[in-house]
Amino acid sequence: EVQLVQSGAEVKKPGESLKISCKGFGYSFTDYWIGWVRQMPGKGLEWMGIIYPGDSNTKYSPSFQGQVTISADKSVSTAFLQWSSLMASDSGVYYCARHRGIEYYYYTDVWGKGTTVTVSS
């Protein structure tokens, strides 16, 4: 079964760093783009960016460029989303999702269950 397993919920203070993970199972991890989607409490979906684990090519939404870092370790079929200095406004649920298609035709067919990040002093 194809699935994405995300790391557990995190509670952090403003200014702290964080790296959350998403491990792929049941498919060739290096053959698909994998990305991150944010959902703030009570709000809609926001696409953050994607990475191609095969060559680490990465694309970011302009809204998130410079705010987060997306990476992947193909040896363990895992993608990561990283912050160097969290803010309260980073609180939300972060989903990883396998992307299919090509540029200008991306869509997501497999989603992780989400990682809840809470940033509070």
Residues contributing to the site for another protein (CB under 8 A): 35, 37, 44-47, 50, 59-62, 95, 97, 99-101, 103-109, 111-114
Minimum distance between the CB of residue 36 and another protein, rounded to whole angstroms?
A: 11
- Min CB(108)–another protein separation in Å: 6
Tell me whether residue 16 or residue 109 sits nearer to another protein (CB atom).
Answer: 109
Radius of gyration (Cα) for the chain, nearest Å?
14
Q: Which is nearer to another protein, 45 or 87 (CB)?
A: 45
For another protein, the closer of residues 40 and 76 by Cβ is 40
Q: Which two tokens stand for residue 92?
A: 């939300």
